[in-house]
Amino acid sequence: MNRVVITGMGWVTPMGHNIEGVWKRLLGGESGIARTTLFDAATFPTCISAQVKEDYRLEDFLGDLGPHAGAGRNTRFALGACAQAWKASGLDAAKLDMDRVGIYLGSGEGSLDFDAYSGAILSGWTAQSATMDMTRWAAVAFERMNAVRELEQEPNMPLSHLALLTGARGPALNCLTACAASTQAIGEAMEILRRGDADVMIGGGAHSMIHPLGVTGFIRLTALSTANEDPPRASRPFDAKRGGFVLGEGAGMVILETLQHAQKRGANILAEVVGYGSTADAFRITDQHPEGEGAIAAMTEALADAHLEPKDIGYINAHGTGTRENDGNETGAIKAVFGEHARKCAISSIKSMMGHLIAAAGAVELICCVLAIRDNILPPTMNLQNADPECDLDYVPNKARRAKVDVAMSNSFGFGGQNDTLIVRRFVG
């Protein structure tokens, strides 16, 4: 079985879109959460979000946009993050067998994608349409859809753009498993490399749901924070007064390679991916199992896959959404898996600063694990002011902490009961 390493990373986030700048802001406890401006949310119970700021320009990463000029919002995030990661890895398509370079992406619909699609369809329907020949009506609707620049309703459109950008002709796969999507994508990309079906895999995720439909859906689930009066402190993972998550958007990408391939080309190896666990709750569509059975199984599987014991984990980047159910269940699951070591292991949630990037969250959080190992410093869980007897572990409250970390775990638990865990460790040749 091939060993798998990370040689490049990139992200587009509500706190910026370069690795070092965003990492510095996270360690400083800054926030990317503010009033929503992508649409008029004034009448919504939740009118805050974590948006990618207006200074993000895809042209800064690609130069000439060419065939990507009409890409939808989440696709533009994916392209920017991928371009960063590819450049950081030092890969050169001219020197690669591109049939052995693949992509595994966790992505879904973007705000403009959905709006453009539905708008184009509905604009073709008039009072006369009921009596119109359906072939003619379909032709009118198709004409209108073709006139829309940012029409990308299919979830695999970002994947297709990434293949076009990089020239990757190997395995091309897409999953949309809600909040666990990019963790699953990276884990499955690792498995492709382990079994020798590719030399290089681009793994990660992209998502944008900050539009009326996306926000309304989460409001109806009572999952969103309504602390509109104080956006930077609205996301409060593990705090007794937590009231829901803050919806974010963005993308995170990593370049994965077999160790042999990376060493042969003299790549700078950032970390090694050593464990992956994936399970389903089979409980309810929107709720986690109250005893965290799926989360326990995913973490246990990842540890077994990595041939590690709980005591070997120095840091856990928690799913830590700030909902009452998730944080209590995740804490209980960590206790069940880690036993006494649960109280010695540092845990934090960057969602307290960045919001919840849905399909992109896991990839961005895995990058934080790699950076924590690189710099021996842990990002904090901000806004943790009120002790909750149910959440009584070490969540690195409110201030980054210096700590030697050799092995880190990243958890992602998605709607529908999808649980995915990755483990990365400091690379030792």
Strand segments (E) across 281-332:
315-317
DSSP, collapsed to helix, strand or coil, labels residue 279 as: strand
DSSP, collapsed to helix, strand or coil, labels residue 70 as: coil
Kindly give, in sequence order, each residue whose CB lies less than 8 Å from that of residue 259, ignoring residues fewer than 6 positions away: 2, 3, 4, 5, 269, 272
Q: Are 179 and 362 in contact (CB under 8 A)?
A: yes
DSSP tally for the chain: helices H, then strands E: 13, 14
Whole-angstrom Cα distance, residue 104 to residue 191? 11
Amino acid (one-letter) located at 240 = A
Q: Are 351 and 344 in contact (CB under 8 A)?
A: no
DSSP, collapsed to helix, strand or coil, labels residue 306 as: helix
Active-site option among 17, 211, 261, 319: 319
Whole-angstrom Cα distance, residue 154 to residue 142? 16
Specify the residue for token string 């590690």.
Answer: 308
The yes-or-no answer on residue 345 being catalytic is no
For helices 134-146 and 111-123, angle between their N-to-C axes, nearest 10 degrees:
140
Active-site option among 161, 289, 356, 369: 356
Strand segments (E) across 310-400:
315-317, 346-348, 377-378
Helix (H) / strand (E) element for 174: namely strand 172-175
β-bridge mates for residue 48, sequence order: 35
Residue 247's closest CA among 2, 86, 45?
45
Whole-angstrom Cα distance, residue 102 to residue 200? 6
Whole-angstrom Cα distance, residue 185 to residue 205? 8
Distances (CA, A) of 135 to 118, 130, 140, 151: 19, 12, 9, 22
CB count within 10 Å of CB 219 equals 16
Helix (H) / strand (E) element for 138: namely helix 134-146
The yes-or-no answer on residue 319 being catalytic is yes
Active-site option among 17, 161, 175, 179: 179
Q: Are 218 and 283 in contact (CB under 8 A)?
A: no
Whole-angstrom Cα distance, residue 329 to residue 149? 43
The yes-or-no answer on residue 369 being catalytic is no
Give the residue numbers annotated as catalytic, written as ranges.
179, 319, 356
